[in-house]
Amino acid sequence: MVDALISMLLDPLISITTEFLIQEVKLVKGVKEEVSGLRSTVVAIKDVLEGAEKKQLEDPRVRRWLDQLRDVSYNIDNVLDKWNTKILTSEIQKKNASAPAPAPAPNKKVCFPLPSSCFRLSQPKKVGILHKVAREIKKLNETLERIDKRKRYYSLETTKVVPNKRRETTSLVAVSEVYGRDADKDYLISELLCDSSGDRGKVPVIIPIVGMGGIGKTTLAQLAFSDDKVKENFNERVWVCVSEPFDEIGITKAILLDLKVGLQDQHTLQALLQHIRESLEGKEFLLILDDVWTVRELKLK
C-alpha cells in the first residue's frame, strides 16, 4: 500500500495547482511556471510511490528517500493551507462586492478553533501574500526536483494504480462516541444560529471549516447538523458530500434529493438550480458541502 501520509498530502496538491491557482499567481512574475513545474514533479513522484514502498524493505536508500519526501510533504501541506484560506477569502470577498446586499451585514468567513492547520487569515495586501507564497513554491519546487532526480538512482518504476473513489460521507454521527469537541461544536452552532436570526439580513453566510485531512472537520459539521437547536431553527437542512471528481450536475441533484424534490426529468444545470431556488425561496436553510477539496466547488450557488 502506498505510504498513506505522503499520498494524503500530495493528492490535494495535484488538485489545487489548477486553473484558478494559476490565474491567481500570474500577478507574480515567473510563478505560473513554478506552479506548473511543481505539479509535474509531484505527479511524477506520486507515480512511483507504490514501487518505492515495496523496495524500501530491501534498500535502505529508498527508505531514506521516502523519509525526505515525507518531510517536504509537511511543507507542502502548510502551503496548501495558506492557499486554501487565501482563495476562500478571496471568493467570499468577490461575491460580497458583486452581490447587491439587502442588509448592511456582509458575508463573512469564520474559521473555527481547530488544531493548528486551521487558522484565521488577516487581510494583508493580496500581492504581498502572493510574493511570500511564491518564494515558498519556488523553494518547494527545487527540493522536489532534487528528490525526483534521486529516484532514478534507485530504479523506481512508474506503477499504474486505479484510483480509489473517495468515501461518501453522511450527516449521521454517533454523538456518544465523540469526545473533546464540545467547545468547537458550541461555537459553530452559535455562529449558525446568530447568522440565521435575521439580524444580519438575508445574504447567505459561508462558514468554511478548513484544515488538513483527519482533524475532524466532517465530525464537527455532523455534530452541528444533528443538533436539536439547529433542527428547530432551519426550515431545511441539506447534507451533500462533494468529494472528487467534481460534478456540478451530481451535486445539484443530490441537493434536490435531500430536499425531497422530484427531478421531473430535468437534467440541465440551469433547470436543476431553478428547482433548488424555488424549493428554498423564503426559507431558512442550512446547506453543508462536505469533503470540498478545491475552491472550484464553491462556484455552485
- Look at 124-128, 243-247, 261-265 and tell me which has the smallest mean pLDDT: 124-128
Q: Tell me: the pLDDT tens digits for 56-110? A: 878 888 888 888 888 887 787 777 677 667 666 766 766 666 655 554 444 444 4
Confidence of residue 165 (pLDDT cuts 50, 70, 90): low
Tell me the domain boundaries of the chain.
Answer: 4-100+121-154, 175-299
Q: Residue 239: its pLDDT value, please?
A: 92
Report helix angle 126-150 to 31-46, nearest 10.
40
Highest mean pLDDT, choosing among 178-182, 202-206, 256-260: 256-260
Whether residue 224 is predicted with pLDDT greater than 70 in this model: the reply is yes
Q: Residue 160: its pLDDT value, please?
A: 54
Percentage of the chain modeled with pLDDT above 70: 59
State pTM to two decimals: 0.46
Whether residue 41 is predicted with pLDDT greater than 70 in this model: the reply is yes
E-strand spans in 131-281?
A: 236-241
Percentage of the chain modeled with pLDDT above 90: 4
Q: Tell me: the pLDDT tens digits for 136-150? A: 878 887 888 888 888
Higher pLDDT, 215 or 278: 278
Higher pLDDT, 47 or 8: 47
Picking from 79, 78, 52, the residue whose alpha carbon sits closest to that of residue 67 is 52
Q: Residue 265: its pLDDT value, please?
A: 67
Confidence of residue 237 (pLDDT cuts 50, 70, 90): very high
Look over the chain and give the mean of its residue pLDDT values, rounded to a whole number: 71
Whether residue 184 is predicted with pLDDT greater than 70 in this model: the reply is yes
Compute the average pLDDT of residues 277-299: 77
Higher pLDDT, 255 or 247: 255
Residue 172 burial (10 A CB sphere; 0-12, 13-18, 19+): exposed
Residues sharing a CB contact under 8 Å with residue 186, sequence separation 6 or more, in sequence order: none
Whether residue 113 is predicted with pLDDT greater than 70 in this model: the reply is no
Rounded Cα gap, residues 34 and 138, in angstroms? 6
Whether residue 172 is predicted with pLDDT greater than 70 in this model: the reply is yes
Rounded Cα gap, residues 115 and 218, in angstroms? 14
Whether residue 284 is predicted with pLDDT greater than 50 in this model: the reply is yes
Q: Residue 90: its pLDDT value, please?
A: 65
Whether residue 127 is predicted with pLDDT greater than 70 in this model: the reply is no
Q: Residue 229: its pLDDT value, please?
A: 92
E-strand spans in the chain?
A: 236-241, 285-290
Helix (H, G, I), strand (E, B) or coil at 172: coil
